Amino acid sequence: MNKFIHAVPNFSEGRRKEVIETIVDQVRNIEGVKLIDYYPDPDFNRTVVEIIGKPSPLKEALLNMAEKSFELINMEEQSGNHPRIGSQDTIPIFPLTNVTLEECIELAEEIGQEVYKRYKVPVYFSGENARNEKRESLDYIRKGQFESLMKLAHLPERAPDIGPAALHPTAGATIVSAGGAGLVAVNVLLGTNDLNVAKTIARMVRGPSGGFSTIRAIGLFFEEKNQVAVSMNMLDIGKTPIHRVFKVIENEAGRYGVSVVATQIIGTLPQEALISCAEFFLKLEHFNRDQIIENHLVDL
Report the CATH number at residue 266. Answer: 3.30.70.670
pLDDT given at position 238: 86
pLDDT given at position 93: 96
Average model confidence (pLDDT) for the chain?
94
Give residue-wise pLDDT tens across range 134-177. Answer: 999 888 999 999 999 999 999 999 999 999 999 999 999 999 99
Distance CA 219, CA 118 (A): 36
Buried b (16+ CB within 10 A) or exposed e, 44-83: bbbbbbbbbbbbeebbbbbbbbbbbbbebbebeebebbbb
| Residue among 82, 154, 168, 243 flagged as catalytic | 82
Q: Are residues 100 and 64 in the same domain?
A: yes
- Of 163, 178, 193, the residue at which a domain comes to its end is 178
Q: Are residues 152 and 95 in the same domain?
A: yes
Q: Are residues 159 and 201 in the same domain?
A: no
Residue 139 falls inside a structural domain: yes
State the total domains in the chain.
2
Residue 296 falls inside a structural domain: no
Q: Are residues 119 and 200 in the same domain?
A: no
User: What average pLDDT does range 218-224 have in this prediction?
Assistant: 90
Burial of 173 (0-12, 13-18, 19+ CB in 10 A): buried
Residue 107 falls inside a structural domain: yes
Predicted TM-score (pTM) of the model is 0.78
Q: Are residues 213 and 83 in the same domain?
A: no
Residue 122 falls inside a structural domain: yes
pLDDT top residue among 102 and 180: 102
pLDDT given at position 298: 65
Residue 299 falls inside a structural domain: no
pLDDT given at position 280: 95
Residue 127 falls inside a structural domain: yes
The residues that bridge with 35 in the sheet, in sequence order, are 51
Q: Are residues 142 and 227 in the same domain?
A: no
Q: Are residues 172 and 235 in the same domain?
A: no
Would you place residue 270 in the very low, low, confident or very high pLDDT band (cuts 50, 70, 90)?
confident
Distance CA 152, CA 144 (A): 9
Q: Are residues 79 and 211 in the same domain?
A: no
Residue 297 falls inside a structural domain: no
Distance CA 194, CA 153 (A): 34
Residue 300 falls inside a structural domain: no
- Of 127, 149, 178, the residue at which a domain comes to its end is 178
pLDDT given at position 180: 83
CATH of the domain at 155: 3.30.990.10
Q: Are residues 157 and 30 in the same domain?
A: yes
Q: Are residues 30 and 168 in the same domain?
A: yes
Instruction: Clarify whether 82 is annotated catalytic.
Output: yes
Range of the domain at 278: 184-291
- Of 131, 150, 178, the residue at which a domain comes to its end is 178
Q: Are residues 164 and 226 in the same domain?
A: no
